[in-house]
Structure 1
Amino acid sequence: MSILITVIAIVAGLLLFDRLLPATSARLALQLERRRAGLTLAEVTLPGCSMPYLHGGPADAPVLVLVHGFGGDKDNFTRIAGFLTPHYRVICPDLPGFGDANRDPAASYGMGDQVERLRVFLDQLGLERVHLGGNSMGGFISAQFSAAYPARVASLWLLDAAGTAAAQDTLLLKRYLESGDMPLLLRRQQDFAVLVRSTTHRPPYIPWSLRTILAQRAIRDYPLHSRIMQQLTTSPLLETQYQALATPCLIVWGKQDQILNPAGAYSFQALFPHNQLQLMEGIGHLPMIEAPKRSAADYLAFRKTLA
């Protein structure tokens, strides 16, 4: 009985700490997640902006760069990174305008602009050729980077990627184009619950403190992110610019994705004929968060076929 009382007291104390000091609690939770995944924090300074990034894994291993989606940040890949750092040198940057990167209201954030920032980021790290992956908007950027700089991309990993007409044919995006309303754009604290329901099929546990801090950041970013969303949805689609791209590609899509249409997977198959496709039952828009172990296993299997 005394052990049970002690456990209850510890849990109650942690919950109270989480509520009373959300910024500190969220920072500690992220630090713990990163440590478990074998990731450490660093930063690269680019002309006009900075890009913090997480990195881990053997220094001499093949490099895997993972690019987050709209409204996300480098920690979108922290949970899955723990299954990848034993095999690869994993690098997860914050794109300018997101996460802990700087925000320049006067800058342009179209997909081509972000592709060029990613190129300079890789140049600064001295990375000539990498394996590249991305989720949602990050998938759009990664695919366009591969098309623009094919010699620099050994393989692609696209997780519910934006960038094709089929992918962007959803009720949520149609409503956004008609009204400007979008779950990824937060005006109020309570909108965070809508964001989680829209992007995941079975919402993962997120501490109250982290939910609070992420919601507050998104609310502050609403003006800038509204403009970035407009640039994202009006950027030229990939199929209007490229065809039959040679980069080997693993295409992953959650069958219950509400943000981007799973039919987009087939449009990416047409763009990247050398591909493998994984449609994930019971998964929404964020496979790397909703099913990190399974998603990592599929990626490791894909990489073995390349070898």
Structure 2
Amino acid sequence: MTLLFTLLLIATCLWVFAEWKPDIASRWGLGLERKRSGLVLKSQAIAGFEIPYLEGGQGEVLVLVHGFGGDKDNFTRMARFLTPHFRVIQPDLPGFGDATRDPAARYRMSDQVERLHAFLQALGVQQVILGGNSMGGFIACEYAARFPEQVKALWLLDAAGTAAAHDSPMLRHYLATGDSPLLLRSQADVAKLIRATMARPPYFPGFLKRTLGARAIVDYPLHCAIFKDLSQHSPMLETQHTTWPTPALIVWGTEDAILNPAAARTQEQLFPRHKTIVMQGIGHLPMLEAPAQTAQDFLEFARTLSV
């Protein structure tokens, strides 16, 4: 009985602390996830921006770029399957996560490509396998076009950047109303975001949802401006390029409600050296919904690169 009482007391104290200080509880929780994945938090300054990033593992460099409204920790749970094989680097893009926000700066694809390049140059990284989800996938493609000699392969996870991908109910609704589940105005919008982006969401503690929601609410004006700018000034990949020689692993979740999985066909035409994986019952964020399987699919693809 004494042991049970002690455990209940500890659990109650932890719950009260998480309710009282959700930001501190979130840092602790994310810290444990990062440690389990072999990742360490670091930071790198580039012109005008401070870029926090997670790094761990050894070997070839694998850089993972998050999507709109996401951050470096979007890949943390999946990274535990990757750090035994690669040096994994997960940066926050300027304007997102814990990176610098500058309302006077531009955040178009070309701007973020140049910043990502400056970041990798500052780290002394010369060649990478470059992965990206959603907007991050768009940036990865543009990076490979701009710096082809630096990108050994691409890993495109429900990637934006083609007319087919953008032909989705979410983006049509945004163009008609200016409203998107990626733009959060209240804590109630966190649940809408999770429903819209994931068909099989993992467990998110309440304190983490409150912390991330609070950050997104503060970011609402800036992110509205960025989203509008991107929607108006993002030429589609197929209008700028014919094909890439870069090998690409193309991944789509069948239940993606943010972008259109039919874009796989356009991406296959852009990347003749491709492998396509369609994940049944998965939404827009495979690395969060099915981290082990998503990582395993990539590791099998990566083994073919050295054959």
Q: Shorter-chain TM-score category? A: over 0.9
Partner of 2:293: 294
Equivalent residues of 1:140, 1:163 under 8 A apart:
yes
What SS is found at the alignment partner of 1:246?
Answer: coil
TM-score using structure 1 length: 0.97
Paired with 2:300 and 2:291, the residues of 1 have a C-alpha distance of 14
Partner of 1:276: 275
What SS is found at the alignment partner of 2:256?
Answer: coil
Partner of 1:86: 84
Equivalent residues of 1:134, 1:161 under 8 A apart:
yes
1:230 to 205, 221, 228: 228
1:216 and 2:247 correspond: no
Paired with 1:177 and 1:215, the residues of 2 have a C-alpha distance of 24
Equivalent residues of 1:69, 1:135 under 8 A apart:
yes
**Structure 1 segments unaligned to the other structure (5+ residues):** none
1:39 and 2:35 correspond: no
Equivalent residues of 2:201, 2:288 under 8 A apart:
no
Counterpart amino acid of 1:300? Answer: L
1:124 to 97, 122, 131: 122
Counterpart amino acid of 2:151? Answer: V
Paired with 1:63 and 1:202, the residues of 2 have a C-alpha distance of 29
Partner of 2:242: 243
Paired with 2:279 and 2:4, the residues of 1 have a C-alpha distance of 39
Paired with 1:301 and 1:199, the residues of 2 have a C-alpha distance of 26
TM superposition shift of 1:302: 0.2
Taking every aligned residue pair, what percent have the same amino acid on both sides? 57
Matches within 5 A, 1:19-34: 19-34=19-34
1:134 and 2:132 correspond: yes
Paired with 2:148 and 2:7, the residues of 1 have a C-alpha distance of 54
Paired with 2:9 and 2:167, the residues of 1 have a C-alpha distance of 50
What SS is found at the alignment partner of 2:163?
Answer: coil
Counterpart amino acid of 1:298? Answer: D
TM superposition shift of 1:8: 4.2
Equivalent residues of 2:128, 2:151 under 8 A apart:
yes
Paired with 1:177 and 1:126, the residues of 2 have a C-alpha distance of 41
Q: CA RMSD in A?
A: 1.2
Partner of 1:108: 106
Equivalent residues of 2:160, 2:166 under 8 A apart:
yes
TM-score using structure 2 length: 0.97
Partner of 2:178: 180
Paired with 1:289 and 1:254, the residues of 2 have a C-alpha distance of 12
Partner of 1:50: 50
Paired with 2:295 and 2:201, the residues of 1 have a C-alpha distance of 19
The count of residues paired between Structure 1 and Structure 2 equals 305
Equivalent residues of 1:18, 1:207 under 8 A apart:
no
Counterpart amino acid of 1:293? Answer: A
Matches within 5 A, 1:247-266: 247-266=246-265
Q: Deviations over 1:11-44 (max 9, x none)?
A: 3333222212111101100110100000001111
Partner of 1:144: 142
Partner of 1:13: 13
Equivalent residues of 2:66, 2:136 under 8 A apart:
yes
What SS is found at the alignment partner of 1:34?
Answer: helix
Q: Which moved more, 1:225-234 or 1:192-201?
A: 225-234
Distance 1:265 1:9, change over 3 A: farther
Q: Deviations over 1:216-260 (max 9, x none)?
A: 100110111011111222211111001111000001111000000
Counterpart amino acid of 2:111? Answer: D
Paired with 1:241 and 1:227, the residues of 2 have a C-alpha distance of 24
Partner of 1:157: 155
TM superposition shift of 1:6: 4.7
Paired with 1:206 and 1:220, the residues of 2 have a C-alpha distance of 20
What SS is found at the alignment partner of 2:261?
Answer: coil
TM superposition shift of 1:9: 4.1
**Structure 2 segments unaligned to the other structure (5+ residues):** none
Q: Deviations over 1:57-89 (max 9, x none)?
A: 02xx10000000000000001001110000000
TM superposition shift of 1:265: 1.5
Equivalent residues of 1:67, 1:74 under 8 A apart:
yes
